[in-house]
Structure 1
Amino acid sequence: MERRTMLKTLSAWMAGAAVPVVATAAPPMPLKKTAVEWKSLVSPAAYQVLFEEGTERAGSSALNGEKRPGTFVCAACSLPLFDAAHKYESGTGWPSFWQPRPDAIGTSTDFKMILPRTEYHCARCGGHQGHVFNDGPKPTGKRYCNNGVALAFVPQGEALPALRS
């Protein structure tokens, strides 16, 4: 909720006015597994990126060239993270998106490259996906630079995989 909207709502509530309830989607329930459990569910390369915060080699993912309509999901837990309509060619060699799905990711700051960067991860399993930068296209100006091995693609019209439990 924007600050201005929140202040107006709070002011109306304090004045005794009825305040409408806005329904929002519930964030995904956290999923915790041991390293052994995750290793049994994903490839060694995916495990290294998702749970050891590695980075795949630029240009190595087939998903970088994926252009069909559909949904990109977390390779570990199958949570839908990005709509294909929000993917664009960034020229970096990694699948890039200008917007994630609501409640799909969490962020933190990492200092692995000395300067701070915003790392993002799956909101459900915590798997590392990539980093977000402020050099993307409109309307957000964001570039969610994703490791392809941390994603799976589901073409439009196919059922999304069940969330792993």
Structure 2
Amino acid sequence: MADKLQLSEAEWRERLSPEQFRILRRGGTERAFTGSYEKNKQAGEYYCAGCGHLLFDADSKYDSGSGWPSFTRPAEAGAVDEHRDVSHGMVRTEVVCANCEGHLGHVFPDGPRDDGGLRYCINSASLAFEPEEK
């Protein structure tokens, strides 16, 4: 991958909505069942709302019942990076965009066993969806 996208805080604020900035650049989260892509069932691809990097395919999206868009795997190896997150008194694995290091959500080991066993629990505000052309 080419050099990672690095912008100043002012540039990120100009590029993103306040909600996207709070989530992508400050590690926030949206409330469960409020995100625009949580119930989306269209074929297509999900990109980082911050930089446009391909993150997930709709083929790997499933309804986990968690209230956030959930995926079994990234679109391709290296699309996301994972980091240990010990915030809020919990130990979790944070998922960030591999290109801009924007916070996307977390990955948990409680996904569908027949599809790898992982659940990438991702904030809708961190995503941009492109429907498949027919």
| Common topology (TM > 0.5) | yes
Structure 1 gap segments, 5+ residues each: 1-26, 159-165
Query: Quick one: distance in 2 between partners of 1:28 and 1:62?
Result: 30
Query: Quick one: distance in 1 between partners of 2:107 and 2:116?
Result: 11
1:133 to 108, 120, 125: 108
Query: Quick one: distance in 2 between partners of 1:40 and 1:61?
Result: 22
Partner of 1:23: none
Give the alignment of 1:10-159 within 5 angstroms.
Answer: 27-101=1-75, 102-137=77-112, 138-157=114-133
Query: Quick one: distance in 1 between partners of 2:58 and 2:97?
Result: 17
Q: Could you state the TM-score of these two structures normalised by the residue count of structure 1?
A: 0.77
What is the CA deviation profile of residues 58-79 of structure 1, one whole-angstrom value per residue up to 9, with x for unaligned ones? 1111201111110000000010
2:115 counterpart SS class: coil
Q: Which runs of 4+ in 1 moved over 2 A?
A: none
Q: Could you state the TM-score of these two structures normalised by the residue count of structure 2?
A: 0.95
1:94 counterpart SS class: coil
Q: Alpha-carbon deviation of 1:116? A: 1.3
Structure scoring higher RCO (CA < 8 A, sep ≥ 6) equals 2
Query: Quick one: distance in 2 between partners of 1:63 and 1:48?
Result: 18
Q: Alpha-carbon deviation of 1:103? A: 1.1
What is the total number of aligned residue pairs between the two structures? 132
Query: Quick one: distance in 2 between partners of 1:140 and 1:72?
Result: 20
- Higher CA-based Rg: 1
Report the residue type matching 1:115 in the other structure.
M
Structure 2 gap segments, 5+ residues each: none
Q: Alpha-carbon deviation of 1:28? A: 4.8
Q: Alpha-carbon deviation of 1:157? A: 1.7
Percent identity between the two aligned chains: 42
